[in-house]
């Protein structure tokens, strides 16, 4: 975990599980912009062969920007004042609202990649909000379990 994935703001705990993907997003977006520059050069110089770099550049740039806004900027907010947990998408829209009394921490796995999520106690296998990145490395998992998980449990108990 290069960057801290959590931030305490008064009585609110904000978790951004995928904030460490930001560097990869910048690289993919830069590669897409370079392909677009190549397409402009080919268009002016040869008036041909510009379609493939344009499509590659647009795909890389638009997909990385979409991933950035939807996944990297996604936040899980533990609000003690309201007594609820919710996901904040685009820093505006609240989805997956769960009250503190009905929330629990569950472990999930996708294609062998382990992560933690917050779900309702009544339906632990249903819709959940991810609160950790994929914990594929043992050191990363131990660091997360020692630093972030106790904070989340303290918020859920109070």
Cβ-based burial of 87 (10 A; exposed 0-12, middle 13-18, buried ≥19): buried
Measured CA distances, 24 to 46, 110, 119 (Å): 32, 21, 29
Residue entry with tokens 């632990």: 124
- Assign a CATH topology to domain 6-17+75-157: PH-domain like (2.30.29)
The tally of CA atoms less than 13 A away on the side-chain side of residue 105 is 17
Q: pLDDT, tens digit, for every residue of 67-77?
A: 998 888 888 89
What digits encode the pLDDT tens for the residues 82-135?
888 888 888 888 888 888 888 888 888 888 888 888 888 888 888 888 888 888
Q: What is the reported pLDDT for 38?
A: 93
As given in the structure block, the two tokens for residue 111 are: 């294609």
pLDDT of residue 53: 92
With 0-12 / 13-18 / 19 or more C-beta atoms within 10 angstroms meaning exposed / middle / buried, residue 132 is buried
- pLDDT at 47 (0 to 100): 84
Domain boundaries along the sequence of the chain: 6-17+75-157, 22-71
Q: What is the pLDDT of residue 1?
A: 47
In this predicted structure, the answer to whether residue 2 has a pLDDT above a threshold of 70 is no
Quick one: tokens of 106? 């569950």
User: Which residue bears the tokens 């290069």?
Assistant: 2
Q: Are the beta carbons of 8 and 17 closer than 8 angstroms?
A: no
């Amino acid at each position: 975990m290069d960057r801290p994935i959590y931030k305490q703001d008064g009585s609110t705990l904000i978790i951004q599980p995928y904030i460490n993907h930001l560097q990869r997003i910048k690289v993919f977006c830069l590669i897409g912009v370079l392909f677009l520059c190549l397409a402009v050069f080919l268009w002016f110089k040869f008036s041909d062969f510009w379609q493939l770099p344009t499509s590659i550049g647009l795909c890389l740039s638009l997909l990385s920007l979409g991933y950035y806004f939807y996944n990297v900027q996604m936040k899980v907010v533990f609000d003690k004042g309201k007594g609820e947990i919710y996901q904040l998408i685009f820093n505006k829209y609240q989805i997956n609202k769960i009250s503190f009394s009905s929330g629990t921490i569950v472990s999930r796995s996708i294609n062998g990649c382990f992560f933690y999520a917050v779900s309702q106690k009544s339906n632990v296998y249903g819709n959940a909000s991810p609160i950790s990145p994929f914990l594929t490395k043992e050191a990363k998992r131990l660091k997360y379990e020692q630093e972030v998980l106790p904070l989340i449990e303290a918020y859920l108990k109070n």
